[in-house]
Structure 1
Amino acid sequence: MKTYIAMLRGINVSGQKKILMKDLSALFESLEFTNVKTYIQSGNVLFQSKNKNVNELILSIEKKIVDTFGFEVVVLIRTKEELGTVIRSNPFSKKDSSRIYVSFLNKVKKNPDLTEIERVKIKGEELIVQGKEIYFFSPKGYGTTKLSNNFLEKKLEVSATTRNWKTVVALFALTEEQNQK
């Protein structure tokens, strides 16, 4: 069984696309995934599956959400190994971890045009694109930046979901616990 982390974009934000975590767990279990565990209300789900085709997993989860809840949600998936690489590759590891964010993209953006992104950055903000992730350091916090998830999606023409560093690390730790069972 392979361990996956599904990150749902935009659920339970300002009362929009509300899904209780117990209902989300039940949905994943109905898809015959095992060892399902949710983490906080923002739509993080750890699960295991025999299916190694991530695109098939994403499509089945997204379809089941529409069928069950009546709205569309973008689902991004990383394997335990990929999430470990995200953590080890953190270019801001020497900075205040409470100000580090990772945007997970649905596809690699080769040679992205960062002109507009560089133009709107606040002093001290740093952004690095590595593969299907964007590492972001914001000394004043995510609430003050113009480089929101929506902004990055629009400028890079991708789907994305952003998590703070604490969540990224916690998700990986949960995959480690899950594999010890």
Structure 2
Amino acid sequence: MPSYVAFLRAINLGANRKFAKADIVAATEAAGGTDVETYINTGNVRLTSRLRSRQRVEAALEEAYLARAGFAVPTLVFSPTELAEIAADAEDLTRPDLERHYLYLLKDEPAKDRVDVLLAKEGAADRVVVRGRAVHLLLGPGYRTGAVDPWGVEKALGVVATNRNLNVVTTLARKWCS
């Protein structure tokens, strides 16, 4: 059976979107997932599934998470190979002068015109790199006052996204993709 890494968007934020690890595991298993593991309580899940397409895995998980949590949980699924490639890109792109390196994981690849709008926001110390279903937001000194808004990526691209920091993505790749 194929393995997948799922990223849950917007859980454990505020009082109304709590989704405990045990509930995530139970819901993932209810969706047909086996060998389920989680990493920290921000919605990172490794599973195997009989389903063979990313879209079918996402749909099954989203249905099970809604049933268990009581609210919609957008879910973005990657193969271990895809996640390993994103992590390798992240390590290649990072620089010692960065204040932050955010990775936005996307449900779907964004349209080129939307990517161009996002790239136009780059500043002298900030850089945006879009590769497939991943966006690397490389924020240099003074990024808070720069033209790149780290919270506007999803809106700018018009796709469902969730973000993780460099450490989480590279740790998951080492832990689950080897």
TM-score (norm 2): 0.85
Single out whichever of 92-101 and 102-111 deviates more from structure 2. 92-101
Runs of 5+ unmatched residues, structure 2: none
**Number of residue-to-residue matches in the alignment:** 176
Kept in 1: contact 2:94–2:138 (CA 8 A): no
Per the alignment, in what secondary structure is the counterpart of residue 102 of structure 1?
A: strand
In structure 1, what is the Cα distance between the partners aligned to 2:119 and 2:177? 36
Kept in 1: contact 2:4–2:80 (CA 8 A): yes
Over aligned residues, Cα RMSD in angstroms?
A: 2.5
Taking a change above 3 Å as real, the CA distance of residues 96 and 49 of structure 1, as seen in their structure-2 partners, is farther
Per the alignment, in what secondary structure is the counterpart of residue 89 of structure 1?
A: helix
In structure 2, what is the Cα distance between the partners aligned to 1:68 and 1:78? 22
In structure 1, what is the Cα distance between the partners aligned to 2:86 and 2:5? 13
Kept in 2: contact 1:102–1:162 (CA 8 A): yes
Taking a change above 3 Å as real, the CA distance of residues 144 and 58 of structure 1, as seen in their structure-2 partners, is farther
TM-score (norm 1): 0.84
Taking a change above 3 Å as real, the CA distance of residues 30 and 86 of structure 1, as seen in their structure-2 partners, is same
**After TM superposition, which residue ranges in structure 1, 4 or more long, deviate above 2 angstroms?**
88-91, 93-99, 112-123, 139-149
In structure 2, what is the Cα distance between the partners aligned to 1:23 and 1:152? 29
CA-CA distance at 1:12 after TM superposition:
0.5
In structure 2, what is the Cα distance between the partners aligned to 1:21 and 1:46? 12
Counterparts of 1:3-152 in structure 2, within 5 Å, are 3-90=3-90, 91-95=92-96, 99-114=100-115, 116-117=117-118, 121=122, 123-140=124-141, 147-149=149-151, 151-152=152-153
Single out whichever of 41-50 and 119-128 deviates more from structure 2. 119-128
Single out whichever of 135-144 and 15-24 deviates more from structure 2. 135-144
CA-CA distance at 1:110 after TM superposition:
3.5
Percent of residue pairs bearing the same amino acid type: 26
